Chains A and B, each alone.
Chain A
Amino acid sequence: ETGVTQSPTHLIKTRGQQVTLRCSSQSGHNTVSWYQQALGQGPQFIFQYYREEENGRGNFPPRFSGLQFPNYSSELNVNALELDDSALYLCASSLGQGGINEQFFGPGTRLTVL
């Protein structure tokens, strides 16, 4: 069974650019959540997708958007990058909604904005 994978591993962008991060969920998992982890901080919830629909959003501006595909993989898009967007972006997949379903985290994508 393949775990959660994310691509790319590292990424360097400049202010104002746009970026797309990708996440492949664990086999059979229909729910994907995205988190932002700034240096020295705990992860912060960005949003969650359940069966291709957004299912909850944290305190992030609209320039953070996402998609979930029929195979339940997911993308995180960030427009108009700012320096503060530099962080580790984690995705997590689970069998369904609710905290009773364990979330399995990927290794993350390290984004640096210059």
Chain B
Amino acid sequence: AQSVTQPDIHITVSEGASLELRCNYSYGATPYLFWYVQSPGQGLQLLLKYFSGDTLVQGIKGFEAEFKRSQSSFNLRKPSVHWSDAAEYFCAVGAGRDTDKLIFGTGTRLQVFP
């Protein structure tokens, strides 16, 4: 069965610092991979997705993610964090015949200090 692990429950960074959120998945082949962001009282917003091709994916709000097959990872990065990036971030996978029936990780809460 597919699974997603986000090892960091809570990350704190200073505004302007770089950011990397980790995501590891378990699946025999290459799944569809997604990063979502959830602000308090809001639904989930898609930041970026990977299906195939170039392993470095650009998303909205200056985020990017890199798919590494050898490490079963899909880490999210941003070179310079803004205070408005404080939110909960979820990695998700869709696999096999059910690429839209997403399996989410438990999330990483990002706190940004001025």
CB-CB under 8 A from A48, the residues of chain B are 100-101
CB-CB under 8 A from A100, the residues of chain B are 32, 51, 99
Q: Which of chain A's residues has its CB closest to B88's CB?
A: A42
**CA of A108 to CA of B91 in the docked complex: distance in angstroms?**
19
CB-CB under 8 A from B14, the residues of chain A are none
**CA of A106 to CA of B42 in the docked complex: distance in angstroms?**
8
Q: Is the CB of B32 within 8 A of A99?
A: yes
Q: Is the CB of B102 within 8 A of A43?
A: yes
**CA of A97 to CA of B45 in the docked complex: distance in angstroms?**
18
Q: Which of B42, B94, B100, B105 contacts A42 (CB under 8 A)?
A: B105
> Does A103 reach chain B (CB closer than 8 Å)?
yes
**CA of A31 to CA of B105 in the docked complex: distance in angstroms?**
23
Q: Which of chain B's residues has its CB closest to A31's CB?
A: B100
Q: Is the CB of B101 within 8 A of A58?
A: yes
Q: Is the CB of A101 within 8 A of B43?
A: no
Give chain B interface residues in 69-114, CB to chain A under 8 Å. Answer: 90, 92, 94, 98-107
> Does B17 reach chain A (CB closer than 8 Å)?
no
Q: Which of chain A's residues has its CB closest to B90's CB?
A: A42
> Does A61 reach chain B (CB closer than 8 Å)?
no
> Does A2 reach chain B (CB closer than 8 Å)?
no
> Does B46 reach chain A (CB closer than 8 Å)?
yes
Q: Is the CB of B99 within 8 A of A99?
A: yes
> Does A62 reach chain B (CB closer than 8 Å)?
no
Q: Which of B43, B101, B102, B104 contacts A106 (CB under 8 A)?
A: B43
0/1 string, A100-114, CB within 8 A of B gives 1: 111101111000000
CB-CB under 8 A from B98, the residues of chain A are 56
0/1 string, A70-110, CB within 8 A of B gives 1: 00000000000000000000101010011111110111100
Q: Which of A90, A97, A105, A108 contacts B100 (CB under 8 A)?
A: A97
Give B contacts to A, CB under 8 Å.
Answer: 4, 32, 34, 36, 41-46, 49, 51, 90, 92, 94, 98-107
